Amino acid sequence: MAKARKTGIDQNINNNFIGHRELLIALDGAIKADYPIAIYGVHGIGKSMSTYDYVKKNGHKMVEFRINVISDQTHYTGLQFVNPEGQTSHFLKPDWLQDAIEWANKNPEKRVILFFDEWTRPCRFDLLSPVFQIILDKKIGMLELPKNFRFILAANPPTADYQGVVEMNDLALFDRMAHYYLQPSPEEVTSFMKSVDVESVITNYLQKSGEKSMFDLSQTRWEEFSKLRTKSPRKWGAMVDRLLKAMKSDKYAAGYDMDALAVCLPGLIGEETYTFMQFIAETIHQPLTGKEVLDELHKNKELVERLEMIKADGKRDVFKVSLDNATEEMKSRYKKDKNKDLSQQEFVNFLTLLTYGEADYVSNFIKTFQSASDGTDLEWMNKMMTPYFNDAGNNLVSQMKGKSEEDKSNPEVVNQCAKKCKYPEAAKLIYTVLRMSVKNTVTESKGQVS
């Protein structure tokens, strides 16, 4: 499992103007979640170069199209011919398409990236029709493209600075892709130049002179960019859903990769990103109920991920509520049937929860257990937990006392010693929580910290 990430969320998250580093994250999100992504920016800013860089680093295959120089639909569809019998017609696949399909089928774990550059500067507007079918339906005519095809578009903004750029007003089209405006900082630009071995005298000069020598500051600002970031049930139910599923995997111990979502979501839902991510964080930080801890923690991965996020984000108050809920649930079960033992699985689940707390919570738990006895408010704890602590103290912990510090931290040594216990899984977790506490030796009689 990877280290849990913190969910840093601020008001600037809704800004769709991103740099090169964020663009690589946005590209990765779109490629994994399988939705088209459109990149906008002024000339020479790095739209194509960033795309090349991403494809190369990930071992994908890229096919590039310059929409502004394509004058016939057959570049995509291939030439039409009549079969020998003269009954039907077919299209001959273009070389690029045949090669891309063969590569995709041979490399199913990789992606074929169709990169449509200058997509808002077509020779004729009707030439965009096959492009839209390709990126929206993954089809060329009646031919279905392999599932591992992906689509990236790039364009200059439709401002007075760029002749021939068409300002699209098709909200249905915008709704089917993510949109980002590339605007890197001067520091990012010089850093990238250094990475591709641009002469140091150039990078040194640009670092010294700054933005005025690097960008044409007279560029007209594209005020209407925000209208591209549409919202619809389809956008939420398809693209946002696929993005969340892509960001939630075994690679991320805390569930969603919140850092990546903070970059990717604005291109899909714009200003809604901040409130949506706040909602995600609040949902993740919901305390566990007592029944969830005792009955489900060992088999419900989502509960574990919530605990990991709670710990990663330092939500001590949420952890305390979860611990209180589990304690009250055990107490309630004891009062309901004092003759029913706490099962090893229930106890293991409770101790698993405890391992996600800070050391002071663990120490407080041990101290509370020390004071538990029959005839008191803690009788339930004494009755339900003492057998497990005695088992661990008489067997596992007593064996580990004479071990070196290296052995005490070695899971294989702990597992071997735990085999002598009646309740090995509980014993191992007892040993873990004792190690977490400030005092971690136990007496043989009751497992008390001495």
Across 75-79, 426-430, 435-439, the highest mean pLDDT is recorded for 426-430
Q: CB 11: neighbour CB atoms within 10 A?
A: 7
Lowest mean pLDDT among 362-366, 426-430, 443-447: 443-447
Percent of the chain with pLDDT over 90: 38
pLDDT tier for residue 255 given thresholds of 50, 70 and 90: low
CA distance 443 to 370: 11
- The answer to whether the CB of 418 falls within 8 A of the CB of 388 is no
| Structure-token pair, residue 220 | 């007209």
User: What CATH number should be reported for the domain whose range is 17-228?
Assistant: 3.40.50.300
pTM for this predicted structure: 0.69
pLDDT score for 249: 58
More confident residue, 326 or 73: 326
Whether pLDDT at 182 is above 80: yes
pLDDT score for 100: 95
pLDDT score for 87: 75
> What contacts 227, CB < 8 A, 6 or more positions away?
171, 174
Whether pLDDT at 347 is above 90: yes
pLDDT score for 1: 30
pLDDT tier for residue 19 given thresholds of 50, 70 and 90: confident
CA distance 185 to 374: 68
Domain limits of the chain? 17-228, 290-436
pLDDT score for 447: 46
Model confidence over 36-84: pLDDT tens digits?
999 999 898 889 989 999 999 999 999 999 988 888 888 888 777 777 7
Whether pLDDT at 279 is above 80: yes
Whether pLDDT at 310 is above 60: yes
CA distance 74 to 40: 27
Average pLDDT, stretch 302-327? 89
pLDDT score for 195: 83
Across 96-105, 166-175, 279-288, 397-406, the highest mean pLDDT is recorded for 96-105
CA distance 30 to 15: 18
Model confidence over 199-227: pLDDT tens digits?
999 989 988 887 778 777 666 677 777 77
Whether pLDDT at 285 is above 60: yes
Whether pLDDT at 12 is above 70: no
pLDDT tier for residue 354 given thresholds of 50, 70 and 90: very high
- The answer to whether the CB of 154 falls within 8 A of the CB of 51 is yes
pLDDT score for 92: 82
Q: Which strand (E) or helix (H) includes residue 89?
A: strand 89-91
Cα 31 from chain centroid? 13
**For residue 423, which amino acid is it?**
Y
Lowest mean pLDDT among 150-154, 234-238, 322-326: 234-238
pLDDT score for 297: 94
- The answer to whether the CB of 306 falls within 8 A of the CB of 282 is no
More confident residue, 218 or 12: 218
